[in-house]
Amino acid sequence: MESLFSAMIVLLLVSFSCFTSSEALTSSNGNITIKWDLMTWTPDGYVAVVSAYNYQKQRSIPSPGWKMSWGWTRKEVIWSMVGARTTKQGDCSMFKGNIPHSCINKPTVVDLPPKTPYNQQIANCCKGGVLKPGLESAFQISVGKAGTTVKTVRMPVNFMFTAPKQQYLCGPTKNVRPTTFISADKRRMTRALMTWNIICVFNKAT
């Protein structure tokens, strides 16, 4: 009886702390929304455009800029990136011929500098990690050894978003309604294969 009672207390505390942590992730001061739009499947994975929107009215991310990291849930690798890069390649020794950009289980990505050659950029990339209110930073990522259908692909987890002297807390990765894109002449709409997003909120100055 006593153990049942303490189990109930523990459950109550756990549900309370879950409630407060998700509560903390909505902030009247805005948020950073990270979005993964899967654009095409490849023979062993997919190509996605990843963007981070600064929906904070007041807070800018200054130089030397943001860093983003996450965990893969399987043996995913990053074949290539455009507009950003990982800080470490990791152990790619099992690959012959094509060598991935990163084989790390928990990669950290940083932006490229503004002087990056145009043929190595995508829209909204390459701001040296500086992210002003109302703007976005984006990069393209080609992921291998990942699933190749909406059923088999796995979302990256445990996102961290860091900025100089600013600490953010990120919520879980969510599968959301696929983003739609409108052509320049507004006559055709296309749709991402899948869209995932992650909300991060400012926690404290460090």
Ligand X SMILES: *[C@@H]1O[C@H](CO)[C@@H](O)[C@H](O)[C@H]1NC(C)=O
Q: Which residues bind ligand X (CB under 6 A)?
A: 25-26, 30-31, 33, 55, 199
* Cα distance between residue 1 and residue 70, in whole Å: 43
CB 102 within 8 A of CB 86: yes
CB 50 within 8 A of CB 194: no
- Nearest approach in angstroms of CB 56 to ligand X is 9
- Give the nearer residue to ligand X in terms of CB position, either 78 or 170: 170
- Nearest approach in angstroms of CB 167 to ligand X is 17
- Give the nearer residue to ligand X in terms of CB position, either 46 or 159: 159
- Nearest approach in angstroms of CB 17 to ligand X is 18
- Nearest approach in angstroms of CB 201 to ligand X is 7
- Give the nearer residue to ligand X in terms of CB position, either 25 or 155: 25
CB 47 within 8 A of CB 71: no
- Give the nearer residue to ligand X in terms of CB position, either 30 or 178: 30
* Cα distance between residue 111 and residue 128, in whole Å: 5
Residues 107-128 as b or e (16 or more Cβ within 10 Å = b)? bbbbbbeeebeeeebeebbbbb
- Nearest approach in angstroms of CB 76 to ligand X is 26
- Give the nearer residue to ligand X in terms of CB position, either 88 or 174: 174
Tokens 């490849």 belong to: 42
